[in-house]
Amino acid sequence: MKLHQKLLENIYRVGFVKPSKIQEKAIPLLLHDPPTNLIGQSQSGTGKTAAFTLAMLSRINVDLKAPQAIVLAPARELARQILTVVQSLGQDYPASIQLAVKDSLPKGGKVEAHIIIGTPGTIMDLIRKRRLSTANVRFFVLDEADNMLDLQGLGDQSIRIRKMVPATCQIALFSATFSQDLWKFALRFAPNANQISLKTEELSVEGIKQFYMDCKSEEQKFEILSAIYGLLTIGQSIIFVSRRDVADMLGRKMTNEGHKVIVLHGQFEAEDRDKVMDDFRSGKAKVLITTNVLARGIDVLQVNLVINYDLPLDGRGRPDPETYLHRIGRTGRFGRTGVSINFVHDEKSFKEMKAIEKYFGKDIIRVPTDDYDEIEKILKDAIN
Using a 10 angstrom Cβ sphere, with 0-12 exposed, 13-18 middle and 19 or more buried, the burial of residue 207 is: middle
* Closer Cβ to ligand ATP, 195 or 220, answer by number: 195
* Site map 256..295 versus ligand ATP, x via CB under 6 A: ----------------------------------------
Output the CA–CA distances (angstroms, integers) from residue 35 to 171, 172, 193, 245, 301, in the order listed: 9, 11, 10, 46, 33
What CA–CA distance (Å, rounded) separates 260 from 257?
9
Binding ligand ATP (rule: CB under 6 A), the pick from 6, 7, 9, 19 is 19
Asked whether position 48 contacts ligand ATP by CB under 6 A, the answer is yes
Q: Can you spell out the DSSP letters for 9-52?
A: HHHHHTT--S--HHHHHHHHHHHSSS---EEEE--TTS-HHHHH
Asked whether position 327 contacts ligand ATP by CB under 6 A, the answer is no
The answer to whether 83 and 97 have CB atoms below 8 angstroms apart is: yes
Q: Taking contact as CB under 6 A, which single stretch among the options 37-45, 65-73, 258-266, 316-324 is the one that binds ligand ATP?
A: 37-45
* Closer Cβ to ligand ATP, 126 or 176, answer by number: 176
Asked whether position 40 contacts ligand ATP by CB under 6 A, the answer is no
* Closer Cβ to ligand ATP, 89 or 213, answer by number: 89
Closest CA to 159 of 142, 139, 138, 143: 142
**Shortest distance in whole angstroms from residue 102 CB to ligand ATP:** 21
What CA–CA distance (Å, rounded) separates 305 from 237?
5
Binding ligand ATP (rule: CB under 6 A), the pick from 334, 350, 360, 372 is 334
* Site map 307..326 versus ligand ATP, x via CB under 6 A: --------------------
The answer to whether 212 and 41 have CB atoms below 8 angstroms apart is: no
Residue ranges binding ligand ATP (CB under 6 A): 16, 19-20, 23, 42, 44-50, 176, 297, 299, 301, 329, 333-334
